[in-house]
Amino acid sequence: MYEWIKAFHVMAVIAWMASMLYLPRLMVYHAEAQTGSIQSETFKIMERRLLKGIMTPSMIVTWILGLYLAWSGFGFKGGWLHGKILLVFILSGIHGYLVGRVRAFAEDRNLKSARFYRIINEVPAVLMALIVILVVVKPF
Ligand code: HEM
């Protein structure tokens, strides 16, 4: 059972991370599009569907299955696990921030530059690398 749950946890992680890397990339192009243009309206639809259809559901599944693994496999013990949960909290905070940016774009009140979204785009990648090292290598 544990191994099955872990397999579904990793599938949910892949879907969440794919969206967390793609959404800010869409915003890089959206920030450069003219307000009211066809491109801008298309980006709004793409952002909303990615967020509601994949990103938020996969985050919820990742959390539920991850917490089950942490409880049943490790009794919530281990420095690596505490470090991992802390980093996933930060990742979830960025998720929440991106929800706010999707709303800002939807209401045509984005004031942030394409460069800003390019920088934000790197943060989930760095966190993901640290999280995977913690859970696979378990260095402490
Ligand atoms: C709060 C959310 C999370 C919790 C509590 C959690 C907890 C866990 C636990 C306990 C395991 C099993 C480790 C083992 O059996 O050795 C696991 C596996 C794994 N987790 Fe998470 N996880 C969470 C979110 C994430 C995220 C966000 C990522 C990636 C960005 C991730 C990536 C992985 C990977 C790749 C594995 C498989 C590791 C292996 O089989 O060696 N997890 N997770």
Percent of the chain with pLDDT over 90: 100
Q: What is the mean pLDDT of residues 86-93?
A: 98
pLDDT at 78: 98
pTM score: 0.95
Q: What is the pLDDT of residue 14?
A: 98
Q: Smallest Cα–Cα separation from 43: which of 101, 104, 105?
A: 105
Instruction: Give me ligand 1 centre to Cα 134, in Å.
Output: 9
d(CA 119, ligand 1 centre) in Å = 26
Q: What total of structural domains would you count in the chain?
A: 1
Tell whether ligand 1 has an atom less than 6 A from the beta carbon of residue 123.
Answer: no
Mean pLDDT of the chain: 98
In terms of residue numbers, what domain contains 56? Answer: 2-137
Burial of 35 (0-12, 13-18, 19+ CB in 10 A): exposed
**Hunting for tokens 């990615």 — which residue is that?**
50
The CB density around residue 116, as the number of other CB atoms within 10 Å, is 16
DSSP H or E run through 34: none
